[in-house]
Amino acid sequence: MNGFLPNLVILSAGSAEGGSELNAFDNALLKAGIANLNLIRVSSILPPRAEITYEVPFIEKGSLVPIVLAKITSCEVGEVISAVVAVGVGEDFGVIMEHSMKGSKEEAEREAKRKVEEAFKAREMALKEVHIVSAEHKVEKLGCAIAAAILWWR
């Protein structure tokens, strides 16, 4: 059934503070431009021929939206937290890997890319390219960083 095969992958990331973990998460989603959607976590396969974009198109508020999501929250003042999604593109399809951690986004990006490379090796596939989106946040009181790959239709 090809009607449910997404042909667009939207990469977005954000970070924010909030009065609770849930509010910090919601505020990070707002910064990423994806807060008014009903997010449905899915596993991490890039559909064949899917276009990758870093611009969030209009999606009707309340839509059920498949997403691969990296998320981290912290209340440790001064701590740096990061969330990353890396998309590996192969000849036919690809793999999406998420990673979140205490530390810089550069460290998190390296680990997410390593995960993509390992997934391609396990599938005995050639890796053509890697797309990465990340957010880094220095905690003031209670912070959250998120990175996301939305699977959608154009």
What pLDDT was estimated at residue 150?
A: 98
**Catalytic-role residue among 2, 43, 55, 124:** 43
Prediction pTM value: 0.95
**Catalytic-role residue among 74, 98, 100, 136:** 98
When comparing pLDDT for 119 and 154, which is higher?
119
**43 given a catalytic annotation:** yes
Three-state DSSP string of 42-56: CCCEECCCCEEECCC
Q: Tell me which of 3.30.70.330, 3.30.420.310, 3.50.20.10, 3.30.530.20 is the CATH number of domain 2-152.
A: 3.50.20.10
For 70-115, what is each residue's pLDDT tens digit?
999 999 999 999 999 999 999 999 999 999 999 999 999 999 999 9
Break the chain into its structural domains and give their ranges: 2-152
For 47-66, what is each residue's pLDDT tens digit?
999 999 999 999 999 999 99
**38 given a catalytic annotation:** yes
**74 given a catalytic annotation:** no
In order of 1, 79, 107, 136, the CA distances from 140 in angstroms are 47, 8, 21, 13
**Catalytic-role residue among 12, 15, 27, 44:** 44
